[in-house]
Amino acid sequence: MQSMKISTVLQWTLFLFLTLSLNGCGDDTPTASENTPRNTSGDTADFVFVAAVPPNTLDPQKMSWNHDIRTAGCLFEPLLRYKLPQMTLEPAAAESWTVSEDQLTYTFQIRSEARWSNGDPLTAQDFITAWQRAMLPDFVADYVQLMFCIRGAEDFFNWRNEQLANFKPSDSAADAWREAQVQFKKMVGLRAPSAHTLVVELARPTPYFLELCAFATFMPNHTPSLKKHISFDTTSGLLKLPASYWTDPSMLVTNGPYALKRYRFKRDLLMEQNPHWWNKASMGNRSILQKIIEMPQTALLTYQNKEADWLPDIPSSLSLAADLVASGRSDVHTAPWAGTYFYTFNCKPRLADGSVNPMADPRVRRALSMGIDRKTLVQKITRMNQPQAKSFIPPNMIPGYESPKDAGVSFDPIAAKKLLAEAGYTDPTKLKGLSILFNTGGGHEPTAQTIKAMWKKHLGVSVYLQSMEVHAFRQQLKQQNYTIARASWIGDYRDPSTFLDKYHSNNGNNDSRWVNPSYDRLLAKAQQQTNPALRMKTLAEAEALLLQEQPIAPIYHYLTLHIFDANRVTGLHPNAWNFRRLEQVQVK
């Protein structure tokens, strides 16, 4: 007890200086007996965790942030879900499915016992409603392109877009919507031959389609309540839902393990067992409370005070995170994350000011990439010991895929100087006007300064640093108004294309404007291949080309940080893709 007190006092004192005392608290064994669930009516629940930000939205079709998708997985059950810790797909709302020979038609059998939180049966129509909403310009959001693998989805989006563009306030929005629904049935490959059968026709073979079916964008909506709450904007013809539809427990009907019980903006979100969920027996807890605490230090103190069981959102870029890992506490866990931190090079022949771009030459890009001592960076600067990146796709992430081993670049100042000389920079000081652009507030500055120093020391190349606020930063990147910039990419689904598509010459996310017809051809070829092994081989060839040309310099692969006492909290299974089954979590 005494030692606990001393360590608490210590925690507090050091907190003042924004470093934390990192000893003593992690190995406390819980004394509460197993059968005393916490009271759910008040400020606690069976399982309590701290979210760093309030939800951006609970509308599964509009989500793109990790913390939102985490909540969606509690409230809504998609057709399939990931079994943990194996990370294999297992039946969820669908009890079975079949795939046609040509891999273009998927037929799902929806569970007859699946129910919404108000007792209504879950039907195939509920999926069609949701998927249609995802591809309507009226509700469209970041991930609509995932839907475009369905036959006619993209055409329907464009059709409705045009219909809305031609809409006049004198027209009837209801009539326009009726017409759109007729078009939808005609154009889009989604059918419900019976209440519990869902037939999906794809535009092209999509080997990862079942993975997509487990993703938030593909979760169902309760059709009757949507019908009740949707209204028309008479001036634009757009469909509208009340903003609070997704967060008002009296309106929101869910089909997942939980129903929304209470949401207090910027305070907390309480979910309680959905009394009608078909698989209640599998649940390890009956209620989850998300406390919303933005300051990581405050969140950590809440955890130390035993007011939370799990801290999933401490950014690994904080020095606090490195301190926690360095402390060796048994309740600090790191897991690889399906993402890569890298520097992107502007590959356009000319820079924004019209001058010739030295980085249009792959040799210069490779040389700069070789001048980064990744080991020192992850050990001394980020201090998180992230896996050093040689490839764009993190290793061992995607079943059946292996990144090419030899195409990447590692630290080699001698070879780098040679490459620079070949490119015409025998005197590296002639390589002028380069700058590292990064956004403020994400902990990118120490890394940028280190790399600047490494380039100076190892290659003799001087660059200067330029930082700006994140939205302005994005704009600079989009317009190729930069030479070198900090970047990162997190995979969305378990297929190499979630990474490799980014560097297709037509992709809007290809900030380096690297254009390589062979690369585009390889991606197109892979799209046609139905043999999974051959397809993976083609994709690996594409990645090899990308790494050979280095429009980006991969630096390290991300880690996620989780704080929980593994003896007390079971079933979390931190994993690279942030797949979660929070209903299976048990807190002793």
Give residues in contact with other proteins (CB under 8 A): 8-9, 11-13, 15-16, 43, 54-59, 62, 64-65, 137-142, 144-145, 157-158, 161, 164, 235-236, 238, 243-247, 264-267, 291-295, 298, 301-302, 305, 439, 469-475, 478, 488-490, 508-509
- Shortest Cβ 16–other proteins spacing (Å): 5
Computed on alpha carbons and rounded to an integer, the radius of gyration of the chain in Å comes to 26
Least separation, in Å, of the C-beta of 510 and other proteins? 9
Please, what's the b/e burial string for 316-340 (b: 16 or more CB within 10 A of its CB; e: otherwise)? bbbebbbbbbebebebbbbebbbbb
SS3 of 184, please?
helix
Report in angstroms the alpha-carbon separations of 42 from 270, 303, 380. Answer: 10, 18, 45
Nearer to other proteins, 108 or 218 (CB): 218
To other proteins, the closest distance from the beta carbon of 490 in angstroms equals: 7
- β-pairing, 287-292 vs 47-51, is parallel
User: Would you state the structure tokens that stand for residue 216, as one six-digit string?
Assistant: 């938030």
**How many Cα atoms occupy the beta-carbon half-sphere of 28 within 13 Å?**
19
Tokens of 275: 């009394």
Q: Which is nearer to other proteins, 119 or 168 (CB)?
A: 168
* CB half-sphere exposure, 548, CA atoms < 13 A: 10
In terms of CB distance, is 55 or 404 closer to other proteins? 55
CA proximity to 119, closest of 16, 3, 255, 287: 255
Query: How many angstroms separate the CA atoms of 109 and 95, rounded?
Result: 6
CB of 18 to other proteins, least distance (A): 8
CB closer to other proteins out of 158 and 531: 158
The pairing of beta strand 435-439 with beta strand 332-345: unpaired
Cis peptide before 37 (omega within 30 of 0): no
The nearest distance, CB 48 to other proteins, in angstroms, is: 13
Q: Please identify, using beta-carbon distances, which residue of 138 and 583 lies nearer to other proteins.
A: 138
CB closer to other proteins, 508 vs 517: 508
Nearest distance in Å: CB 351, other proteins: 20
Measure the CA dihedral 470/472/478/480, to 10°: -110
Closer residue to other proteins in complex, CB, 244/567: 244
SS3 32: coil
Q: 541 and 534 in contact (C-beta within 8 Å)?
A: no
Smallest distance, other proteins to C-beta of residue 194, A = 33
Shortest distance in whole angstroms from residue 159 CB to other proteins? 12
CB of 429 to other proteins, least distance (A): 34
**The one-letter amino acid at 57:** T
CB of 369 to other proteins, least distance (A): 22
- Cβ-contact 123, 222 below 8 angstroms: no
- The single residue listed with the structure tokens 């401490």 is 314
Q: Is 19 or 531 the residue whose CB approaches other proteins more closely?
A: 19
**Of 344, 359, 347, 361, residue with least CA distance to 515:** 347
Nearer to other proteins, 227 or 266 (CB): 266
For residue 397, give the nearest of 340, 341, 338 by alpha carbon: 338
Mark 547-579 as b/e (b = at least 16 C-beta within 10 Å): bbbbbbbbbbbbbbbbbbbeebbebbbbbbbbb
Total residues found in the chain within this entry: 588
CA distance 252 to 221: 10
Of 460, 462, 506, 508, residue with least CA distance to 484: 462
Residue 132 or 538: the one with the smaller Cβ distance to other proteins is 132
What distance in Å separates the CA atoms of residue 333 and residue 327, rounded to the nearest whole number? 11
CB of 243 to other proteins, least distance (A): 5
| Shortest distance in whole angstroms from residue 179 CB to other proteins | 18
- Between residues 319 and 385, which has the closer beta carbon with respect to other proteins? 319
Smallest gap, in angstroms, from Cβ of residue 107 to other proteins? 29
> What string of DSSP letters covers 412-452?
-HHHHHHHHHHTT-SSGGGS-S-EEEEETTSS-HHHHHHHH
- Rounded Cα–Cα distance for residues 512 and 515 (Å): 9
Q: What one-letter code names the amino acid at 465?
A: L
| Smaller CB separation from other proteins, 86 or 235 | 235
Q: Which is nearer to other proteins, 48 or 572 (CB)?
A: 48
Shortest Å, Cβ 140 to other proteins: 5
Distance in angstroms (rounded) separating the CA atoms of residues 177 and 239: 8
Looking at beta carbons only, is 199 or 320 nearer to other proteins? Answer: 320
